């Protein structure tokens, strides 16, 4: 006998996430226009480059926002029984890969500036960079307001993107200040390389996490889960345990439970106990459990022995 609960769909949390993403997108669009126009007027290549860095973030976050809304409003069907939650994973991979390419672009620009420093309007560029820094910090606070950057794969990759923007803004500010006071333009490309290394780390991290999810890596310690379930009343043994993540919000599991109860119809309370344990200890809200009585297992064993 099998018992299962419906695919968990936390729409209220997803809608909060969507609103935060949309607000961050709006702020980033304003930042992009300000940095692009300001960079062109002041002659600051750093500011122009940073504006296109922001544009890449806008495209990535836009894809994330679209994927999230499809997951919220597109109901599961016979063809797609789990809905479209896994679009989150593909959006995360895209975000991670773009972070890696951005890091490479910054390194190439930094190498060029070692030999080709440019004349810029320091005060205009510095003013815009400071404003951009404030905007990026605000965006990061918005995305981390419900600690979603720690639990949500999409928000974490978006958070890393804006972190890259923030570091880039800091680098631009330090570089411009150093150029003005110390006449040391070489500091600018050095800071750019440091920024790119942090971006590279973030890009590789979120991409690998998404790939692990696609490979259906088990998200919990199955040995611990089995031990805890066997401690419950009427549980003799547990086998056939499989757990995986559909997306960063949804964990799914299947398992076989051998019980000392005489009839399968008596397992309703035991099913609830196992489901509650998996939800509270391992955050698994979707589980399918197949129950077998000890008599059923014994009969099956005898049947196999007789066939041989």
Query: Regarding predicted confidence, which is higher, 193 or 259?
Result: 259
Distance, CA of 242 to CA of 192 (rounded, Å): 45
pLDDT average, residue stretch 106-130: 82
- pLDDT class for 290, splitting at 50, 70, 90? very high
pLDDT average, residue stretch 175-179: 82
- The CA-atom distances, in angstroms, between 168 and each of 54, 69, 73, 105, 201 are 10, 30, 36, 13, 15
Distance, CA of 216 to CA of 247 (rounded, Å): 10
Task: Report the chain's C-alpha Rg in angstroms.
Answer: 26
pLDDT average, residue stretch 158-179: 80
- pLDDT class for 8, splitting at 50, 70, 90? very low
pLDDT average, residue stretch 264-290: 91
State the chain's mean pLDDT as an integer: 79
Task: Report long-range pairs for 70-78 (Cβ below 8 Å, ≥24 apart).
Answer: 71/14, 71/247, 72/11, 72/14, 72/15, 72/18, 76/7
Distance, CA of 57 to CA of 29 (rounded, Å): 9
Assess whether pLDDT exceeds 60 at residue 51.
Answer: yes
- 């750093």: which residue's tokens? 46
* pLDDT score at 278: 94
Distance, CA of 208 to CA of 231 (rounded, Å): 35
* pLDDT score at 153: 62
Query: Regarding predicted confidence, which is higher, 307 or 117?
Result: 117
Closest CA relative to residue 11, chosen from 59, 94, 76: 76
**CATH code of domain 9-214:** 1.20.1510.10
Burial letters 221-237, b for 16+ CB under 10 A, else e: ebeebbebbeeeeebee
- Tokens representing 152 are 């949500």
DSSP output for 187-253: HHHHHHHHHHHHHHHHHHHHHHHHHHHHTT---S-HHHHHHHHHTSTTEEEEEEEEEEESSSS-EEE
Q: What angle do CA 132, 135, 140 make, to 5 degrees?
A: 125
* pLDDT score at 118: 67
Assess whether pLDDT exceeds 80 at residue 96.
Answer: yes
Assess whether pLDDT exceeds 80 at residue 251.
Answer: yes
* pLDDT score at 100: 87
* pLDDT score at 89: 84
Coil, helix or strand at residue 169: helix
Kindly report the number of other CB atoms within 10 A of residue 268's CB atom.
Answer: 11
- pLDDT class for 91, splitting at 50, 70, 90? confident
* pLDDT score at 34: 87
Assess whether pLDDT exceeds 60 at residue 266.
Answer: yes
Query: Regarding predicted confidence, which is higher, 208 or 110?
Result: 208
**CATH code of domain 222-307:** 3.30.70.1350
Question: CB–CB of 126/177 below 8 Å?
Answer: yes
- The CA-atom distances, in angstroms, between 57 and each of 135, 185, 290 are 14, 27, 46
* pLDDT score at 297: 65
- 């196999």: which residue's tokens? 304
Greatest mean pLDDT among 7-21, 27-41, 216-230: 216-230
Domain boundaries, the chain: 9-214, 222-307
* pLDDT score at 4: 46
Assess whether pLDDT exceeds 70 at residue 307.
Answer: no
Assess whether pLDDT exceeds 60 at residue 95.
Answer: yes
Assess whether pLDDT exceeds 60 at residue 102.
Answer: yes
Handedness of CA 66, 132, 43, 193 (dihedral sign): negative
Query: 187-214 and 87-115 are packed helices; what angle lies between their axes, rounded to 10 degrees?
Result: 160
Question: CB–CB of 39/120 below 8 Å?
Answer: no
Assess whether pLDDT exceeds 90 at residue 235.
Answer: yes
Assess whether pLDDT exceeds 80 at residue 137.
Answer: yes
């Amino acid at each position: 006998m099998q018992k299962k609960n419906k695919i968990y769909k936390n729409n209220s949390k997803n809608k909060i996430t969507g609103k935060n993403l949309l607000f961050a997108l709006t702020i980033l669009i304003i930042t992009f226009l300000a940095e692009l126009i300001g960079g062109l007027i002041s002659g600051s290549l750093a500011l122009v480059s940073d504006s296109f860095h922001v544009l890449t973030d806008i495209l990535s976050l836009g894809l994330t926002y679209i994927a999230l809304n499809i997951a919220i409003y597109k109901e599961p069907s016979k063809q797609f029984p789990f809905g479209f939650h896994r679009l989150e994973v593909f959006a995360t991979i895209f975000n991670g890969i773009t972070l890696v390419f951005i890091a490479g672009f910054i390194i190439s620009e930094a190498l060029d500036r070692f030999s080709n420093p440019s004349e810029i309007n320091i005060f205009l560029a510095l003013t815009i960079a400071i404003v951009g820094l404030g905007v990026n910090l605000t965006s990061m606070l918005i995305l981390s307001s419900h600690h979603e950057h720690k639990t949500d794969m999409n928000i974490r990759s978006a958070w890393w993107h804006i972190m890259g923007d923030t570091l880039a803004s800091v680098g631009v500010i330090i570089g411009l200040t150093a150029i003005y006071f110390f006449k040391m333009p070489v500091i600018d490309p050095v800071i750019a390389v440091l920024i790119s290394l942090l971006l590279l780390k973030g890009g590789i991290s979120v991409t690998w996490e998404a790939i692990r999810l696609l490979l259906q890596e088990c998200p919990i310690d199955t040995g611990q889960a089995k031990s805890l379930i066997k401690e419950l009343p009427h549980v003799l043994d547990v086998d056939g345990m499989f757990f995986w993540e559909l997306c960063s919000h949804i964990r799914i599991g299947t398992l076989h439970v051998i019980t000392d109860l005489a009839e399968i119809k008596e397992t309703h309370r035991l099913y609830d106990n196992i489901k509650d344990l998996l939800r509270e200890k391992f955050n698994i809200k979707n589980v399918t459990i197949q129950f077998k009585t000890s008599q059923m297992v014994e009969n099956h064993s005898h049947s196999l022995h007789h066939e041989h």
